[in-house]
Structure formats: structure tokens, C-alpha cells
Structure 1
Amino acid sequence: MASSRVPDPIESVRHQLRPLFDQIVIKELDQDRVRRSGLVVPPGTHEPPPEQGIVLAVGPGLDWWASAGVEMPIEIGDHVVFPASAGVWVEVDEERLLVCRVTQLLGVLESASMND
């Protein structure tokens, strides 16, 4: 009997694009959702506003992190903020995804991550 289970987009990406080292994979959120989150960029800034997205996959970290007791600070499902210039955009199954280093992130929106 065939399963009628709808594929989970996070699982789908995780099986197709496995980030290495300190890289993470992010799906950008649409602009309407970003505005509702309450992040405001002051007028007059010359840089593009930061982007927001959901973490779909996380690399294992760097080798020296384990010996220094450092853990990857990001988890799958976190709602993150990143500069428009971060990482490299790739396409997986016709979906545009960002692959970037965890150190390029500006932060995690804690309340948004808990509500998603």
C-alpha cells in the first residue's frame, strides 16, 4: 500500500544537499513574513537590508571545535537573520537556497524559531 505522506521539505533538502564543515543551508523567507516578524531597518542605510530564513541543514562544524568544546550554535528549524551578501545561492529541486558559513549569520530570532 502506497503511503500518502506529504514529503517534508526539510527532510528532502537534507537528503540532497549535505553541508560540510561549518556551512548551513537556509531557505529564504518571503518578504511578507519577514515584515510580520518585526525586524526593522532604519531609513537611510546604504546597505541592503538583512534577509531572514529558516535553517534546513547544518554541517558538523570544524575539527578543532570539538577539541575546544565548541558546538554548532545553530539548529535545523532556527529562524535566522543574515546579510544580503552572505554565502552562495544554489538551486535544489527548483528551490533557491543559501549555503553560508555559520559565522556569516547576524543572529537567531528566538521567538520566531519557537513559533515555527
Structure 2
Amino acid sequence: MPAFKPLHDRVLVKRIEQEKKTSGGIIIPETAQEKPQEGEIVAVGPGARDESGRLQPLDVKVGDRILFGKWSGTEVKMDGQEFLIMKESDIMGVVA
């Protein structure tokens, strides 16, 4: 796990890899696979400040499985692993 603390309302996300086979057993080649749009939050910022300067904590926490948009976030590589840094507003929801 990288030693990284996001600022403000940003989160650090590790993508969760999708199955490489269809339910019928057909193997999908890597060139035809899309990047997963599901991930796990590994670090969260303290939150954004409102107009009066009060800190508004995030609704997500470390360990949450989330869904995010196809083009959300900025890809970064730390400690040999790929992560995404995105704002909380880019997250569509938490997977229960």
C-alpha cells in the first residue's frame, strides 16, 4: 500500500479486475477487454470546505467498493501498482 494521503475531497482507488471469461466459458483477449469501472478505495482525503470554512467529510471510506465513470480520475503508478486519484463527485455509488 503506498504512503499517500489525498487532499480535500479526493480518493485513491485501486481498480478491481473483471473476469477474463464470459459466463459461457469464452476467454476474452486482453485487447478486447475494457478497463474496469469498479474499484476499492485505499485512501481518502479529509473532505472539502463549505462556504463558511467548515470541513465536510466524505461519504465514502477506505475499503468501500465503488463504481465510477469510464473516464474518471487520473491514473498514477506508485510502488509498482496502478491507482486512480479522483474527486468524490466522480464516484457513482458504493457497491453493497
TM-score interval, smaller chain: 0.7 to 0.9
Paired residue for 1:5?
none
| 1:31 has 2:18 as partner | yes
Match status 1:73 vs 2:49: no
Could you tell me which runs of 5 or more consecutive residues in structure 1 were left unpaired when the two chains were aligned. 1-11, 36-47, 111-116
Distance 1:49 1:56 in 2: 18
Q: What is aligned with 1:51?
A: 37
Question: Against the structure 1 CA distance between its residues 70 and 63, is the aligned structure 2 distance closer, same or farther, given a 3 Å change threshold?
Answer: closer
CA distance in 2, matches of 1:32, 1:100: 24
Per residue, is there more helix in 1 or in 2?
1
Aligned with 1:103: secondary structure? helix
Alignment of 1:1-116 (within 5 A): 12-13=1-2, 16-32=3-19, 51-64=37-50, 67=54, 70-110=56-96
Scaled by the length of structure 1, the TM-score of the pair is: 0.63
Shift of residue 49, structure 1, vs aligned partner:
8.3
TM (norm. structure 2) is: 0.75
Which 4+ residue blocks in structure 1 deviate beyond 4 angstroms?
none
- One-letter code of the match for 2:7? L
State the Cα RMSD in Å: 2.7
Identity of aligned residues (%): 25
- How far, CA to CA, are the matches of 2:41 and 2:7 in structure 1? 14
Check 1:94–1:18 CA distance in 2 against 1; reply closer, same or farther (3 A cut): same
Deviation at 1:18, TM superposition (A): 1.0
